[in-house]
Amino acid sequence: MINEHALREQICEIGRLMHENHYIDATSGNISARLDANRILATPSGLAKGYMSPDQLIIVDMNGNKIGPATSANRDLKPTSELLMHLECYKQRSDVQGVVHAHPPTSVALTVAGIGFDSCVIPEAIVILGVIPTTPYATPASAENRDAIRFLIREHDAIMLAYHGSLTVATSVWDAYMRLESLEHTAKIMFMAHQLGRVTPLPPNQIEKLIAMREKLGYARPGDDERFRKAYGLSHSDEMEDRIRDIVRQTLSEFL
C-alpha cells in the first residue's frame, strides 16, 4: 500500500500531467485519494493543479471537513467546491481508492454536440472503460451534480458530466488518471471519425469478444451485460451470456 508521502507526490505528478496534456485549465480539475476509511487526501481549491507541491494537499473527512495537521503551505487553503462529487464516489464504492475530475476538451465537446460515449467503437475503451454514460447537465460543484453521479458511479469507472467534464475512479489514483487519458484519447478518435463523416460500428460478435476480454481482465462492473446489450443493440442477454462464457472458457483453455 502506497504511503501518504508517496501519494502526495503522485497526486502532484498527476496534476502536472493533466495540465501538460490540456485536460484542465487555470485552477480547474481536482484529484483525491483515500488514506483510510475516514480520511481523504485532496487537492485544495484555487490552486493551478499543474504546479502544486505535496505539502499543499489537504486532508478531509467524509463530511468534507478539513482535518489533520496544518502545514505552512496549506493552512489557508480550502477544500475544493467539487469535493462533494469525490466524497460520493468513496461513499458509493468501497473499492475506489482514487478519483480524478478534469475538463478534457474533446470529451466535453462531444457532450456539447450531443454525441454520447455509450456506443463507442474503440476496442481498448470498450474493454477498459465499458459503456461510458453522460449525466444530464448539472451545475458544477452543486449538490445536483453530486446527485447526478450517485447511482451511475456504482456501475461505472468513467462518467461524462454533460457540458462540464469527466469523472474517473479506480483502485488507485494513478489508474483513475490512466482512465482519464484513455477517455480523452478515445474522444479524440471519435471526434476525428465524426469529422470524416462516417462512424462504422463494430459487428456484434466483435463487441462480444471485447466484453469477454473485459470480464476476463477483471474490468467488468455489475449490470454490464444489460448495458452493453442496450448500447450496442446486441441480441438477447441469455444468448450473449452463453456466448461470453464460451469465449472465456475457450480463451482460458488456451492459457492453461
Min dist. Cβ of residue 101 to Zn ion (A): 6
Q: Which stretch binds Zn ion (CB under 5 A): 18-26, 104-112, 122-130, 133-141?
A: 133-141
CA distances to 44, 135, 236 from 80, rounded to whole Å, are 5, 21, 45
Min dist. Cβ of residue 22 to Zn ion (A): 15
| Closest CB to Zn ion: residue number | 165
Sheet (strand 66-67) strand order: 66-67, 58-60, 39-42, 30-36, 98-102, 165-170, 158-161, 134-135
Considering only residues 165, 167, 186, 212, which one is a binding residue for Zn ion as defined by CB under 5 A? Answer: 165
> Which residue(s) pair with 130 in the sheet?
none
Sorted by sequence, the CB contacts under 8 Å of residue 52 that are 6+ apart come out as: 11, 12, 15, 43
Considering only residues 138 through 157, tell me which ones interact with Zn ion, judged by CB under 5 A: 140
Min dist. Cβ of residue 130 to Zn ion (A): 22
Which residue number, 31 or 220, has a Cβ lying nearer to Zn ion? 31
Min dist. Cβ of residue 40 to Zn ion (A): 17
| Rounded distance between C-alpha atoms, residue 218 and residue 98, angstroms | 18
Residues touching Zn ion: how many (CB under 5 A)? 2
| Rounded distance between C-alpha atoms, residue 111 and residue 108, angstroms | 5
Q: Which stretch binds Zn ion (CB under 5 A): 56-64, 126-134, 164-172, 238-246?
A: 164-172
> Is 79 a residue that touches Zn ion (CB under 5 A)?
no
CA distances to 15, 44, 115, 138, 231 from 112, rounded to whole Å, are 25, 28, 8, 13, 20
Which residue number, 123 or 140, has a Cβ lying nearer to Zn ion? 140
Q: Which residues of the chain form contacts with Zn ion (CB under 5 A)?
A: 140, 165
